[in-house]
């Protein structure tokens, strides 16, 4: 059996391929860790093409695609047919996962009323102040010495919280991530450590040591039942009922009451 050295400085069999160990040389071997990271992951975001985590595979996909095309070329396939197949596959993948001309193009972020409300709260936070906020808001406030991903608060001067159901409440990842995030925020309102500076469209800006006279407004926003009414409309009645019961328990403990707006 004879071997040649490939571009990876590894060897592959030139003849006797039936008993050769690595007939493609070292390229596949180098790609194994990257593919294993994605294929052995238990969290969908780690292997889904929608997220950036699978990008570790990309260099190997391109290199292996080139090697594969070289092999097909040696087998005298019709180059026009091969090019057409690659084009069709590329267009299909772009439609499924691409942002330009694909079905995801409609998902481009558009500034709405809620975004404008958040922007209005962000500009009220001094640049030198330490902030604790949610994952999607962190990049808009990261140009400062100290910023924390809520529920980490530490020495934050401000807490910017978004109670919209569509907000990203990570690292809370359960079915009731919003409720868990709310439960983490409520103690800061009850203790009086932070006061409500401003609230708009479900977004709350709290400041350490600020007047707590409006904290009850924040509590009412957080414990409003209208989001549970939306859950019923989304065919999650059992989840909604559990959340309503839990909120009523919290309200009873705080001596507060809420109107039954949109009660499921």
Per-residue model confidence as pLDDT tens digits over 208-236? 999 999 988 888 777 765 555 454 444 45
- Is residue 118 domain-shared with residue 205, that is, in the same domain? yes
- Is residue 121 domain-shared with residue 178, that is, in the same domain? yes
- Is residue 128 domain-shared with residue 49, that is, in the same domain? no
Helices 215-222 and 177-191, packing angle to 10 deg? 160
pTM exceeds 0.85 = no
Average pLDDT over residues 11-26: 48
Q: What pLDDT is recorded for position 73?
A: 77
Quote the tokens at residue 233.
């409309």
Q: Structural domain of residue 39, as residue ranges?
A: 3-77
pLDDT band at 250 (very low <50, low <70, confident <90, very high): low
Q: What pLDDT is recorded for position 238?
A: 56
- Is residue 135 domain-shared with residue 186, that is, in the same domain? yes
Q: Per the structure, how many domains does the chain have?
A: 2
Average pLDDT over residues 134-151: 93
Burial (Cβ within 10 Å: 0-12, 13-18, ≥19) of residue 168: middle
- Statement: residue 3 has pLDDT above 70: no
Average pLDDT over residues 42-69: 80
In a domain, 32, yes or no: yes
Average pLDDT over residues 135-161: 94
């Amino acid at each position: 059996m004879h071997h040649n050295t490939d571009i990876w400085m590894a060897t592959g069999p030139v003849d006797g391929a039936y008993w050769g160990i690595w007939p493609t040389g070292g390229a596949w071997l180098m790609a194994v860790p990257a593919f294993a990271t994605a294929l052995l992951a238990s969290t969908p975001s780690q292997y889904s093409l929608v997220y950036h985590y699978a990008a570790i595979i990309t260099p190997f996909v391109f290199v292996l695609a080139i090697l594969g095309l070289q092999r097909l070329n040696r087998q005298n396939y019709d180059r026009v047919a091969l090019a057409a197949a690659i084009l069709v596959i590329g267009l299909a993948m772009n439609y499924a996962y691409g942002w330009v001309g694909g079905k995801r193009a409609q998902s481009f972020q558009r500034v709405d009323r809620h975004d404008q409300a958040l922007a209005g709260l962000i500009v009220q936070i001094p640049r030198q102040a330490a902030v604790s906020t949610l994952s999607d808001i962190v990049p808009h406030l990261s140009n400062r010495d100290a910023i924390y991903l809520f529920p980490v608060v530490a020495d934050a001067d401000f807490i910017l919280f978004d109670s919209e159901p569509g907000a990203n409440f990570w690292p809370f990842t359960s079915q009731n991530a919003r409720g868990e995030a709310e439960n983490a925020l409520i103690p800061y309102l009850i203790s009086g450590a932070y006061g409500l500076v401003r609230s708009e469209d479900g977004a709350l800006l709290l400041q350490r040591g600020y007047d707590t006279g409006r904290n009850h407004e924040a509590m009412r926003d957080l414990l409003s039942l209208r989001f549970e009414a939306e859950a019923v409309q989304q065919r999650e009645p059992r989840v909604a009922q559990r959340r309503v019961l839990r909120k009523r328990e919290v309200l009873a403990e705080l001596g507060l009451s809420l109107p039954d707006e949109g009660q499921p």
